[in-house]
Amino acid sequence: MIPLREIQPTGITSQPESGFPDLIENLLIRTFFEPWMKDQLGWIGASYRSGPRRSWTIKIKKRKGIYCITYLGFKKNAYHWISGTFNIQYFPDLNEKVLDTFSVQENIIRLHSQFEEWLRKIPDREDPLESPFTIGKMLCTVDTEEKALFLSLLAPIRWRTIQRDGLIISDKNGEPVEAVPPNGIDRNVPAFKLAWQLLDILILTFCYQLKCYPIYVLLKERTSRAVEVSRQGDCLSSHKHQVKERMLTVGFEQEGYKIRDSDARFFIRFFPVYDFHAPFKKYRLLWSYMPSNPSSLKGNRLWWEASLWTAKADRSRRNLSGIEYRPQLVIFTGFLGSGKTTLINRIVEHQSLQRNKFVVIIQNEVGKVDIDADLIDGAFNITTLNDGCVCCTIRGELRTAVRQVCIQYSPDIIILETTGVADPQNILEELPSLAPFIRFDSLITVVDGRNIKTILAEYPVARSQIINADLLILNKTDLMDAEEIETVKEILSKINPRSPVLPCSMGDIGPSVLFYFGNDTGIHKERECISHKEIEHGHCYPDFFEVVTINLQGVFVESDFIDFLNNLPNSIYRVKGVVKIKGYQKPQLLQYVGGYYELTHFLDTTIQPNSLVFIGKKFDKDIIEKELKRLILSKEP
């Protein structure tokens, strides 16, 4: 089993209240990034159900209806285990026969005109779907060292509800009708079967993502009481009617980690501790698969195969060009009124309409009214973060928003537009936790050229926005004369000497400047000074902005090449290309932005290593090329 922190980077046991739902959420995101594997495992889709609790609606191939899992909380026990509990609901399709097994009240809710809206978003006052359609609970249990993980399903074979006094409802004419006679069965749902179909796919997904097959599989059963409902709506334990409850537990552990014998006995007798009522003491062990009792495989035999589904999955994780799929994240910051929204509108139009890229915008504005959300074209999806700043008071919500758009939309590009009073330093600290899901591109700061002197004198956060920028957009130059423009450029260069400064007016700048390497296979073939080459919409690049392509034959030693990247001059803003590194069978895709770099496997065979593109201002191509030739080996040893 791989370390759980590869799926949940911030850990589980240190912050279980968020750790358990984050684990499930990240599991879905990682899987949905792999279209072939998502289909192979049996997923169709998932979406957030907006409300006070962490909740997701899920669609799988095996059922026509929709599942919903909601995080309820966590508990610890004396055996150094922590369990997170999730409620499981199933909302049948109107054409499914299983709908008839749900209660009369649940059928009425299902036919309500606002049911679909309730499913998407919980109403402000109360949730009409909080309890109806529940079919069981799922427990996710880990040890304090996070070296073992167990998934458990607890559900009745038939979830049976009795109407003690009968149930009277009104027909369409308002006349009373007996829907259920006294002591009649109102609900008789095959709960375990329905819940099992979801849990089976979750277990299969954990097997694949953890690269591990189950070490423990146990199925228990016990007799419990059915529920009787009184005329007043009170739910009481029935003394006449019984139900069979089942508990399925599947466990994983890291290689070399051995669960103690006392814990193993604990699993058989009680595990997991928290179920519907008291601990699972009066049980009947139907079957088990454990290291101490390695019987024939139990459960779904695919669980023992999924950990080996790597070859096709490696391909499915990548787009048609062979690039590992993680959307670009571009952060836009700038003081209030600098013109961020206007610029973003132009970028989104360019990326979506001209380059066929799907862009998702995350906005963070202080206050209740989302003015900028109305200004941005409604054709583009926006997740708005309110009441606070992405960079400080609601930093945790940034992770939620990024994961949300990834799981729901699978975008090519995510644009985060921060509020004008945001300090970007804090948001940069969160990027490592987002690394498994996004590819950080750059932080771009839009500067109000006309008012920047006053803003810098009165608002220290404006200086931080400039200092942390990878690229500075000097906006509103139409309101400045040439001397003022040069003065402001000097001010900006003194604050942040490593970032290019691009003058523009009304956000009117060539979008390709900001996403020059947006196409992962777009390696330029020749050196050109872009200032002399017109591009889309007649825009041109500034005088100092230069692009150089260097092609070499051979292979690099990784440590030498990384030293080369670390010593690049500040005048080089971006580097991208494909390089051959000694010891790697596949070429490596290099992405370098403002001093930060990343190397990942590159599968496309149409671009020959080593092709490197450098973009910056006033740098010496000959020195760069000479240093690369010194480092490269003529052939791989």
When pLDDT is cut at 50, 70 and 90, the band that residue 81 belongs to is: confident
Nearest to 429 by CA among 460, 468, 462, 383: 468
Q: What is the pLDDT of residue 269?
A: 55
Specify the higher pLDDT residue, 305 or 279: 305
∠ at Cα 273 (229, 81), nearest 5°? 145
Q: Which two tokens stand for residue 116?
A: 């679909």
- Specify whether 588 is located in the same domain as 507: no
Check: CB of residue 210 under 8 Å from CB of residue 204: no
When pLDDT is cut at 50, 70 and 90, the band that residue 355 belongs to is: low
- Specify whether 127 is located in the same domain as 175: yes
Nearest to 389 by CA among 365, 372, 371: 365
CA–CA gap between residue 488 and residue 455 (Å, rounded): 12
pLDDT above 70 as % of the chain: 76
Q: What is the pLDDT of residue 276?
A: 38
- Specify whether 571 is located in the same domain as 495: no
Specify the higher pLDDT residue, 459 or 288: 459
- Specify whether 106 is located in the same domain as 254: yes
Q: What is the pLDDT of residue 348?
A: 77
Domain tally, the chain: 3
Q: Which of 49-58, 107-116, 554-563 has the lowest mean pLDDT?
A: 49-58
Q: What is the pLDDT of residue 314?
A: 47
Range 155-175 burial, b when 16+ CB lie within 10 A, else e: bbebbbbbbbeebeeeeeeee
What's the one-letter identity of residue 409?
Y
What's the one-letter identity of residue 183?
N
Specify the higher pLDDT residue, 124 or 427: 427
- Specify whether 237 is located in the same domain as 367: no
When pLDDT is cut at 50, 70 and 90, the band that residue 365 belongs to is: low
How far CA 208 is from CA of 39, 315, 554, 568, in Å, comes to 13, 15, 37, 40
Over residues 65-74, mean pLDDT: 95
CA–CA gap between residue 427 and residue 77 (Å, rounded): 36
The three-class DSSP label of residue 158 is coil
CA–CA gap between residue 20 and residue 129 (Å, rounded): 22
Q: What is the pLDDT of residue 295?
A: 58
- Specify whether 244 is located in the same domain as 300: yes
When pLDDT is cut at 50, 70 and 90, the band that residue 184 belongs to is: very high
Assess whether pLDDT exceeds 60 at residue 635: no
Q: What is the pLDDT of residue 379?
A: 40
When pLDDT is cut at 50, 70 and 90, the band that residue 320 belongs to is: very low
Judged on CB neighbours under 10 Å (0-12, 13-18, 19+), 118 is middle
Q: Is residue 222 part of a domain?
A: yes
Which range in 74-78, 187-191, 229-233, 602-606 is most confidently predicted, on average pLDDT? 187-191
Q: Is residue 501 part of a domain?
A: yes
Q: Is residue 236 part of a domain?
A: yes
Check: CB of residue 283 under 8 Å from CB of residue 273: no
CATH code for position 591 = 3.30.1220.10
- Provide the β-strand partners of residue 58: 46, 67
Question: How many other CB atoms are found less than 10 A from the CB of residue 472?
Answer: 23
Specify the higher pLDDT residue, 25 or 370: 25
Look up tokens 């101490």; give the residue: 292
Nearest to 399 by CA among 75, 121, 29: 29
CA–CA gap between residue 129 and residue 500 (Å, rounded): 53
Assess whether pLDDT exceeds 60 at residue 478: yes
CATH code for position 423 = 3.40.50.300
Over residues 551-564, mean pLDDT: 90
When pLDDT is cut at 50, 70 and 90, the band that residue 573 belongs to is: low
CA–CA gap between residue 15 and residue 473 (Å, rounded): 39
- Specify whether 268 is located in the same domain as 304: yes
Distant-in-sequence, close-in-space partners of 483: CB < 8 Å, separation ≥ 6 = none
**Residue 34 dihedral angles phi and psi, to the nearest 5°:** -120, 90
Judged on CB neighbours under 10 Å (0-12, 13-18, 19+), 579 is buried
When pLDDT is cut at 50, 70 and 90, the band that residue 594 belongs to is: low
Q: Which of 86-100, 404-418, 440-454, 524-538 has the lowest mean pLDDT?
A: 524-538
Over residues 237-244, mean pLDDT: 85
- Provide the β-strand partners of residue 160: 188
Assess whether pLDDT exceeds 60 at residue 376: no
- Specify whether 127 is located in the same domain as 238: yes
- Specify whether 568 is located in the same domain as 425: no
Q: What is the pLDDT of residue 202?
A: 96
Over residues 445-451, mean pLDDT: 91
- Specify whether 58 is located in the same domain as 143: yes
**Chain mean pLDDT for the chain:** 78
Nearest to 270 by CA among 261, 281, 254: 281
Q: Is residue 532 part of a domain?
A: no
Condensed to tens digits (0 to 9), the pLDDT of residues 495-546 reads 998 888 888 887 677 665 665 433 333 333 332 333 323 323 333 333 445 7
Task: Give the residue numbers spanning the domain of 387.
Answer: 328-515
Please report the beta strands in 356-475, taking only residues with DSSP state E, as ranges in sequence order.
359-364, 381-385, 413-417, 439-448, 471-475
Q: Is residue 48 part of a domain?
A: yes
Domain C-terminal end among 496, 515, 534? 515
Q: What is the pLDDT of residue 450?
A: 87
Q: What is the pLDDT of residue 321?
A: 40
Over residues 569-581, mean pLDDT: 81
Which string of DSSP letters, residue by residue, matches 147-164?
-EEEEEEEEESSEEEEET
CA–CA gap between residue 68 and residue 88 (Å, rounded): 6
Assess whether pLDDT exceeds 70 at residue 272: no
Q: What is the DSSP letter of 130?
A: S
Distant-in-sequence, close-in-space partners of 500: CB < 8 Å, separation ≥ 6 = 471, 472, 542, 544, 545, 573, 616, 617
Condensed to tens digits (0 to 9), the pLDDT of residues 107-129 reads 999 999 999 888 887 877 788 99
Domain C-terminal end among 493, 515, 537? 515
Q: What is the pLDDT of residue 489?
A: 93
Over residues 240-265, mean pLDDT: 78
Judged on CB neighbours under 10 Å (0-12, 13-18, 19+), 234 is exposed
Nearest to 19 by CA among 84, 75, 77: 84
- Provide the β-strand partners of residue 250: 151, 217
Query: What's the first-to-final CA gap in the chain, in angstroms?
Result: 34
- Specify whether 257 is located in the same domain as 334: no
Q: Is residue 571 part of a domain?
A: yes
Assess whether pLDDT exceeds 80 at residue 281: no
Q: With DSSP H G I counted as helix, E B as strand and the rest as coil, what are the percentages for the chain, rounded to 5?
A: 30, 30, 40
- Specify whether 132 is located in the same domain as 223: yes
Q: Give the distance, in angstroms, between the CA of residue 528 and the centroid of all CA atoms in the same chain.
A: 39
Q: Is residue 79 part of a domain?
A: yes
Check: CB of residue 561 under 8 Å from CB of residue 584: no
Over residues 452-477, mean pLDDT: 90
CA–CA gap between residue 402 and residue 172 (Å, rounded): 46
- Please give the torsion angle defined by the CA atoms of residues 608, 610, 611 and 613, in that order, rounded to the nearest 10 degrees: 160
When pLDDT is cut at 50, 70 and 90, the band that residue 96 belongs to is: very high
Domain C-terminal end among 284, 316, 348? 316
What's the one-letter identity of residue 528?
E
Check: CB of residue 142 under 8 Å from CB of residue 11: no
Over residues 172-190, mean pLDDT: 89
Q: Is residue 132 part of a domain?
A: yes
Q: Which of 19-23, 82-86, 594-598 has the lowest mean pLDDT?
A: 594-598
CA–CA gap between residue 599 and residue 583 (Å, rounded): 14
Q: Which of 91-95, 171-175, 369-373, 615-619 has the lowest mean pLDDT?
A: 369-373
When pLDDT is cut at 50, 70 and 90, the band that residue 337 belongs to is: confident
Check: CB of residue 433 under 8 Å from CB of residue 398: no
What's the one-letter identity of residue 273?
V
Over residues 139-144, mean pLDDT: 90
